[in-house]
Structure 1
Amino acid sequence: MKARYIILRDSGPAARSSPQVRSFSRTASSLTIDVEELAPRDLASLAEKKIFVAPAMPMRLIAPFAAPLAVPGSDDTPPSEETEACAWGVQAVKADTSPFTGAGVTVAVLDSGIVRSLPVFDDIDVIEKDFTGEGVVDVDGHGTHCAGTIFGHDVSGTRIAVAPGVKRVLIGKVLSTEGAASDQIANAIMWAVDNGAHVISMSLGMDFPGFVKQLVEEDGYPPELATSHALEGYRTNLLLFERLASYLRVKARSTLLVAAAGNESRRDIDPRFQIAVSPPAVVEGILSVGAVGRHDDGLRVANFSNYGPKVSAPGVEIMSVALDGKLQALSGTSMAAPHVAGVAALWAEKMLKKGPLGGTQLEARVVGQTSTDEMAAGYSASDIGEGIVQAPQM
């Protein structure tokens, strides 16, 4: 029985001569990702050649939570003056007082696409690519909301973007109404790198239960065998993203990958109900992002935010643009990751003024300039990482 596999290797003449691999490939420098339907004998042949192979696993967006926040342009009660002027997340990362806007920086958003025709994206050079077969337009709203937080224009007089000076963006639609697969994510990362992305933002995660269900219901695996196969797929996909991130750190040195930590924790139910950062954010070489929210005594980790992120950012009651062009408030680490991507764009602008940009140096600057000053007493480093990201101020 054949199945869909991802093949990762250096693309020398000998490596590309394999007859099993003729479908889709994308190359950044000498790295090649191929995707092919393979039988067990093909896997054995590739293993003998020490070529890395992983099954294509289901991926899903990190679904946000609707936030009952009154915003201008909605039918709710009028918001406060502070809310009208600037989204609280933009202020919390101090982007509103930064002299940098992200000018000259290219940002990629790998998500559900955007609605490019919205005024919030006017005068921005948007390069789109569909990896789903569904078309580039966002039908979910998730990608549009995330993109708005990074570089969108003001909506109803409210600043929603951390880096409103970003004018060149890469929108890779990797999430359809049916979800996604890890090969789509890997290829989208390579596409973004090939097209000059300085920062790549991802608010998605690996769907282990979905893979088990697929093997049982679609492929006829017994549950025990499906679980074993899915575990091996999970392990090899972690290695896939780890190798990809490691390669990019060496070969494509100007790119920083940012990913949401996940929303599976439930601290409101039980303080012990904490889930670790989910893939691909957990991979070394990807900057994982947790979420914090406002409280009377300061910022606190969001109840849903997975523990163990490298950094954190505002992720509760985040105002950005909806599919209809109006403001919408959502909560999730999906909303926190774009804040970090935006802050990274501000740091990238500053660093580019002094010379070539390095992805590892950019990550070091973003992580090294975090702050815990606004955190409420009693916070844990395992919940928020190094702290809340901060925009450059001079």
Structure 2
Amino acid sequence: MTHRPAMAARLLAVGAATLVAIALGIAAGVSWAQGPTPDVDARALALADTTGTVPVLVRMRDRPGRSELMRRADEPDDAHAVVRALRETAALSQSGVLAEARARGRSARSYWIANAVALEADADLLRWLTRQTDVAAVEYDQPLVAVLPTSDGVAGAVGGVEWNVTRVGAPALWAAGYTGQGVTYAIADTGVEWQHPALKPHYRGWDGATATHAYNWWDAVHSQIGASANRCGYSAAAPCDDYGHGTHALGIGVGDDGAGNQVGVAPGAKWIACRNMDNGVGRPSTYIECLQFFAAPWDATGHNPDVGRRAHVISNSYGCPASEGCTSESLRLAVEGVRALGIAVVVSAGNYGLQCGTVQDPPAIYASAFSVGATDSSDAMASFSSRGPVTVDGSGRIKPDVVAPGVGIRSSWLGDAYTLLSGTSMAAPHVAGAVALLWSSHPVLTRDVDNTENALRRGAVHVGLTQVCGGETLGSWPNNVAGYGRLDVQAASDLVDWILSMRRMRLPLVAR
């Protein structure tokens, strides 16, 4: 591959402690900050005055200082140190808000992953929050309707390995003995029909005879968010899917029923799941709650989190639409928090179509998320796939990072069925599955998110394009239409092999 020498020339070495600090957005020596009065979403104030109460996210000003992490550097697992620092910061800085909310009879949920508190506030409590200098912002925890794909039709008969799985190069790694084994694949979505034949054998909570949902499943939907009641209820104790979208997306990542329905990229991985939408409607708080669960899964009561059981990669096929008022800075902090724990965050780029600048929703816009657009069976860009650059935050960053098959994708569906769906929701799980394959085939990369992402970028196949965005020249790579190109996990694996053989050492960080 002609780009390999150029890639090797750009290798940089970065210390683990520095990487943790950068990923958390930490400024050295900053801790327990006091500041000006918080920003309060005007919509929340207006709704509290008219409806009585409003759901909000109270984002605290404090983040753990770099020194708070560095003094824990001698612990055997850096992840435990990071989580401890985040939890200690949250416990200290949130105590006043939690006490005030409970004194007023308001329920509240604490999120240490973003140092935020979700609660129902009335106008008086909002006024109290505006006077708290340790509060950075009060964000409206708005119900958000996800743009989810609808079925393209009933899937045909069993056909062995699906075309899209072959297209991204997964069978080549299977043939070498790497199927994602040893990797925990997480999905945050509409839930999962866990007993589907293509999914049940791969559930981390299933040992072949007994199901254990503690630490493997969480329902972040605790009350009605959507327009009508859903079939799963709320705070469901066992995995359930009220829509079908999550079941389909998970199948693309890991699905295989052992009887010919080879629909998933990494069937050797074990999955865990969290429901963050109610009939396709979520909130920033439900998205954050699932991310926190994957960072340190907890028991069936929501207690005793265990960072040792955290996910390796998270597939996120949803958006937090800015068009519907999503301005949650807390969600960005949560994504950065899980990344600091060595968890790859893969997200769908969005389905807003041909116009440039349509990668516009969190978390796809974030630098800390690996965003995926969609192609069809001819490697042409899907007409619905969102294009970059990211303009909504003023960054102008190139998105998507890569593209993957997302048109007419056959995967698992409700009722032990299979169906065809199209969307960037279908593209993202291919990349999450590819992360699992790379980490099972190259353990040296495990939890090295930066280098893993760069291997996927550099191994991507350049596809034919007829469109440019962001002032680019046709034929330049990466670009704001297809990023670095179409996913090819076999090429990414070969690239890692080549670099390791040349360097005979751990693959260092590659400058973006």
Shorter chain as normaliser: what TM range?
0.7 to 0.9
Aligned AA (1:20): E
CA displacement 1:188-236 (0-9 Å, x = unmatched):
1011111311111111112455x5xxxxxxxxxxxxxxxxxx4xxx33x
Structure 1 residue 356 displacement after superposition: 5.3
* Aligned partner of residue 372 in structure 2, secondary structure: strand
Task: Decide whether the 8 Å contact of 1:57 with 1:206 is kept in 2.
Answer: no
Structure 1 residue 179 displacement after superposition: 1.0
Q: Tell me what 2:8 maps to.
A: none
Question: Within the alignment, does 1:131 sit opposite 2:236 as a pair?
Answer: no
CA distance in 1, matches of 2:362, 2:101: 27
Structure 1 residue 273 displacement after superposition: 7.7
Aligned AA (2:162): A
Task: Decide whether the 8 Å contact of 1:315 with 1:336 is kept in 2.
Answer: yes
Q: Tell me what 2:483 maps to.
A: 385
CA distance in 1, matches of 2:94, 2:126: 20
Question: Within the alignment, does 1:280 sit opposite 2:382 as a pair?
Answer: no
Q: 1:159 to 1:379 in 2, by over 3 A?
A: farther
Alignment of 1:18-167 (within 5 A): 18=96, 19-20=99-100, 23-28=108-113, 32-38=115-121, 39-46=125-132, 48-68=133-153, 71-72=156-157, 84-98=159-173, 99=176, 100-123=178-201, 124-126=203-205, 127-133=216-222, 134=233, 135=236, 136-154=239-257, 157-167=260-270
Structure 1 residue 153 displacement after superposition: 1.3
Structure 1 residue 170 displacement after superposition: 1.6
* Aligned partner of residue 388 in structure 1, secondary structure: coil
| TM-score normalised to structure 1 length | 0.80
* Aligned partner of residue 120 in structure 1, secondary structure: coil
Task: Decide whether the 8 Å contact of 1:155 with 1:326 is kept in 2.
Answer: no
CA distance in 1, matches of 2:101, 2:440: 40
Aligned AA (1:128): W
Q: 1:356 to 1:292 in 2, by over 3 A?
A: closer
CA distance in 1, matches of 2:192, 2:134: 41
* Aligned partner of residue 20 in structure 1, secondary structure: helix
CA distance in 2, matches of 1:131, 1:111: 10
Alignment of 1:344-363 (within 5 A): 344-351=435-442, 353-354=443-444, 357-363=447-453
Alignment of 1:128-207 (within 5 A): 128-133=217-222, 134=233, 135=236, 136-154=239-257, 157-167=260-270, 169-177=271-279, 179-195=281-297, 196-207=310-321
CA distance in 2, matches of 1:20, 1:367: 48
Q: 1:14 to 1:385 in 2, by over 3 A?
A: same
Aligned AA (2:407): V
* Aligned partner of residue 380 in structure 2, secondary structure: strand
Q: Tell me what 2:6 maps to.
A: none
Q: Tell me what 2:387 maps to.
A: 307
Aligned AA (1:85): G
Structure 1 residue 342 displacement after superposition: 0.6
Displaced runs of 4 or more, over 4 A: none
Which stretch has the larger CA shift, 147-156 or 111-120?
Answer: 147-156
Between structure 1 and structure 2, the one with the greater Rg is: 2
CA distance in 1, matches of 2:445, 2:261: 34
Aligned AA (2:350): G
Alignment of 1:7-22 (within 5 A): 7-9=58-60, 10=63, 11-12=88-89, 14-18=92-96, 19-20=99-100
Q: Larger relative contact order (C-alpha < 8 A, sep ≥ 6)?
A: 1
Q: 1:193 to 1:14 in 2, by over 3 A?
A: closer
Query: Identity of counterpart residues, as a percentage?
Result: 26
CA distance in 2, matches of 1:245, 1:128: 19
Task: Decide whether the 8 Å contact of 1:115 with 1:323 is kept in 2.
Answer: yes
Instruction: Choose from 400, 411, 416 the match for 1:325.
Output: 416
* Aligned partner of residue 480 in structure 2, secondary structure: helix
* Aligned partner of residue 192 in structure 1, secondary structure: helix
- Give 5+ residue unaligned stretches, structure 1: 74-83, 212-229
CA displacement 1:35-93 (0-9 Å, x = unmatched):
112333233134x11534322122333311433576206xxxxxxxxxx1211111111
Q: 1:301 to 1:69 in 2, by over 3 A?
A: farther
Which stretch has the larger CA shift, 320-329 or 10-19?
Answer: 10-19
User: Aligned Cα RMSD in Å?
Assistant: 2.4
Task: Decide whether the 8 Å contact of 1:106 with 1:198 is kept in 2.
Answer: yes
Structure 1 residue 146 displacement after superposition: 0.5
Task: Decide whether the 8 Å contact of 1:59 with 1:204 is kept in 2.
Answer: no
Task: Decide whether the 8 Å contact of 1:150 with 1:338 is kept in 2.
Answer: yes
Task: Decide whether the 8 Å contact of 2:189 with 2:275 is kept in 1.
Answer: yes
Structure 1 residue 283 displacement after superposition: 1.7
Structure 1 residue 294 displacement after superposition: 2.0
- Give 5+ residue unaligned stretches, structure 2: 1-47, 64-87, 103-107, 206-215, 223-232, 298-309, 389-399, 469-478, 498-512
CA distance in 1, matches of 2:139, 2:449: 26
